[in-house]
Chains A and B, each alone.
Chain A
């Protein structure tokens, strides 16, 4: 009798005792979310939409905001100019190389900070980040001093007699662009990996060694898979901005180190042709998003996180 009565007695319709809490939560949800959404809509989505719209303008002549007849002639012209698409591919290739090298070099750093540094981790992390406090341009210029024909490296090589002519292949090419970008990105890349490694429960590592796993096996079968989300995060953190990078190639890239971002910059400044530059930017944006989505689908992160 008691059980069936309990089942039969449904709660009254209309407001329930828990409604007040749920309603308040929903209100809080929107109150917290709306400012951020509005900010992103105005400062991220709107400019991108404006840029896509500008890519349909024929050229930059006449008053800037006067309505124009949309045209796809820039996109057609891109299809007819293989050199721009080739450059995009090359820049993406450089970006993949930079991201891979950076992640590879940042991993030991993050591993040490998260799992081996112990009480000194905080201090060492601050030391890792001190270069951040210098201007980005100065850090790039420093590489000019290192790699130039009369720079630090060449002076050492000439001084010790290892070479009798200074190496001119160190600066103003793709090599110098890659080296400089890796240097600039390593502290950034170490952080997500470190965050992932900190989430690894030390008890799991103890369990692994209790089950007779050697340190190398421990790393390969336990630590590395568990830190994979951080590694993948670090890779994309470096890859996506590097595709459109233009400051570093401008300073140390020379003629052969030109990247796609430099061409976009030129169309926006020297060539005074914003519509063409906008078209190039839209193409790069769409391509990068497509690549990122495909890559993330291919690498199923859940495989690493769940047991």
Chain B
């Protein structure tokens, strides 16, 4: 056949090709999730661990590494400002979860984060499966500033497992320049008038909630027939939907680029878009807004219990709370912070200084494991039906 040796001049580029392929493959493979260490969780049914006596180390000499599993955006020091100021020599590392299911899956797989941040609906799973440990609230100096309704969110069987931090609403967000009649119902998310510019949150339980409000179903007791109706409704809605959003940054960029003009949204996106100069309004639907609370829990068997308690305590601090309210318009569990808000728009639009607000809105109930499996499977079938 002849000389089939590669030409000499190509040896260097071919070597580079191999290097580039390896690098490219690694970069492509490592696209999303952060690394998770796999260690099986310890058996359930342990009692609350004996807590060590309060450390007598002065705050600025407290050291250690704390790992927090949190949602994107909450790693900004603004949202743990009090901890950073009080304990400047302690290090905090963040891992990210994209949704409650994501965080739950990671903690089940043995993620070694010391502190994690689930939201209403999913909190009970961590208690039932022995992932969260009981918190000794006598060690939290800010605990008295939290209203009773909020304290109860993290209580199960009379014990305090999680500490509330942020709370807010879910409603319909819309661009006032492109949507001329104000929106007053959740049904706007399924309205063909907004075809191609709707964005729904990529979450099954969220979809079931919206349908329950529209049809007046009892969220805690959805029958299989109702679930089938809900599934078909969202399969039809998918044809009007541009793209589902996963995290608030996705939603914000879709509104900014004009790809979405009507969306299921929390008020964080509303605040961010207003700040970016996009003309948006946050609806007050006749079926009522949904409300939710985010809590911080401590992983059972964490070696950093002392530091974790300090972190959670400082999360209830004033600076942190003020940053949360002014940047995201979310409520903070510390009632002093809420009473100190002077912005009239915030006080009126969100009633966020009202400690009984949870009783006046459609507060997200806890999911059962059956509901979780059925509703997420329903949602995946909706997505697969395109």
Point out residues on A near B: beta carbons under 8 Å. 59-65, 81, 83-84, 86-87, 119, 121-122, 125-126, 129, 132-133, 135-137, 148-151, 166, 168, 171-172, 188, 191, 198-199, 201, 203-204, 247, 250, 253-256, 258, 262-263, 266-274, 276
**Residue pair B386, A272 in contact (C-beta under 8 Å):** no
10 residue pairs of the A-B complex, CB under 8 angstroms, read A122-B9, A132-B23, A136-B28, A136-B31, A168-B196, A201-B4, A255-B238, A255-B243, A262-B383, A269-B99
Q: What chain A residues lie within 8 Å of B257 (beta carbons)?
A: 148-151
Determine the chain B residues whose CB is within 8 A of the CB of A63 once the complex forms. 40-41, 43-44, 129
Closest chain-A Cβ to B293's Cβ sits at a distance in Å of: 20
In contact, A270 and B376 (Cβ under 8 angstroms): yes
Most buried by A among B2, B98, B246, B380: B380
Q: A65-B40, A135-B27, A136-B27 are in contact. Are A247 and B10 (CB under 8 A)?
A: no
Q: Which residues of B contact A61 (CB under 8 A)?
A: 129, 369
A250 to B43, CA, bound (A): 36
Closest to B203 in A: A270
* B32, B44, B202, B386: most-surrounded residue (chain A CB, <10 A): B386
Chain B, residues 8-38, CB within 8 Å of chain A (1/0): the string is: 0110110011001101100110011100000
B380 and A125 contacting across the interface, CB-CB below 8 Å: no
Interface residue? B108 (CB, 8 A): yes
Q: Which residues of A contact B376 (CB under 8 A)?
A: 266-267, 270-273
Least Cβ–Cβ distance between A285 and chain B, in angstroms:
17
> CB-defined interface of B216-248 with A at 8 Å, one 1/0 digit per residue?
000000000000000000000011011110100
- CB of B46 closer than 8 Å to a CB of A: no
Contact: A121 with B258, CB < 8 Å? no
A197 CB → nearest B CB, Å: 12
Question: Is the CB of B50 closer than 8 A to any CB of chain A?
Answer: no
In Å, the complex CA distance between A136 and B377 comes to 30
Cβ-defined contact, A172 with B259, below 8 A: yes
Contact A270 B202 (CB under 8 A): yes
From B4, B10, B44, B238, give the contact of A122 (CB < 8 A).
B10
Chain B residue at minimal CB-CB distance from A267: B380
> Are B12 and A122 neighbours in the complex by a CB distance under 8 Å?
yes
Contact string against A for B residues 252-288, beta-carbon threshold 8 Å, 1 for contact and 0 otherwise:
0000011100000000000000000000000000000
The 0/1 profile, CB within 8 Å of A marked 1, for residues 71-104 of chain B is 0000000000000000000000000001111101
Contact status A272-B259, CB under 8 Å: no
Which residues of chain B have C-beta atoms less than 8 A from A255's C-beta?
A: 238-239, 241-244, 383, 386
**Interchain nearest-CB distance for A302 vs B (Å):** 15
Q: Which residue of A lies closest to B32 (CB)?
A: A247
- Tell yes or no: B381 within 8 A of A by CB: yes
**Of the residues A62, A122, A256, A267, contact of B13 by C-beta under 8 Å:** A122
Q: Are A81 and B243 closer than 8 Å at their CB atoms? A: no
Query: Which of A60, A201, A250, A269 has its CB near the most chain B CB atoms (within 10 A)?
Result: A269
Least Cβ–Cβ distance between A18 and chain B, in angstroms: 30
Instruction: Identify B108's interface contact among A64, A125, A258, CB under 8 A.
Output: A64
Contacts of A203 in B (CB 8 A): 2
Asked whether, in the complex, the Cβ of B258 is within 8 Å of the Cβ of A150, the reply is: yes
Please indicate the chain B residues that have their CB under 8 angstroms from the CB of A62 in the complex: 129
Find chain A residues with CB under 8 A from B31 CB. Answer: 136-137, 247
Say yes or no: B258 contacts A83, CB within 8 Å. Answer: no
Residue contact A191 to B384, C-beta cutoff 8 Å: no
B373 within 8 A of A: yes
Flag if A149 contacts B10 (CB, 8 Å). Answer: no
- Give chain B nearest CB distance to A48 CB in angstroms: 16
CA of A150 to CA of B253 in the docked complex: distance in angstroms? 11
8 A Cβ contacts from B39-56 to A: 40-41, 43-44
Please name all residues of chain B whose beta carbon is closer than 8 Å to the beta carbon of A121 when the two chains form the complex: 9-10, 13
Contact A64 B373 (CB under 8 A): no
> Are B9 and A83 touching (Cβ within 8 A)?
no
Please indicate the chain A residues that have their CB under 8 angstroms from the CB of B384 in the complex. 81, 83-84, 86-87, 258, 263
The answer to whether B242 touches A191, judged by C-beta atoms less than 8 angstroms apart, is: no
A-B pairs, top 5 by smallest CB distance, nearest first, are A271-B376, A270-B101, A254-B243, A201-B2, A269-B102
Contacts of B20 in A (CB 8 A): 129, 132-133
Residue in B closest to A151 when the chains form the complex, CB atoms? B257
Residue contact A269 to B1, C-beta cutoff 8 Å: no
A270 to B386, CA, bound (A): 19
Chain B nearest CB from A144 CB (Å) reads: 8
Give the Cβ gap from A206 to chain B, nearest Cβ, in Å: 10
Find chain A residues with CB under 8 A from B259 CB: 148-149, 168, 171-172
Whole-angstrom distance between the Cβ of B101 and the nearest chain A Cβ: 4
Q: Tell me which residues across on chain B come within 8 A of A188, comparing CB atoms.
A: 21, 24
Cβ–Cβ < 8 Å partners of A198 in chain B: 6-7, 10
Q: Is B365 an interface residue (CB 8 A)?
A: no
Q: Which residue of B lies closest to A266 (CB)?
A: B380
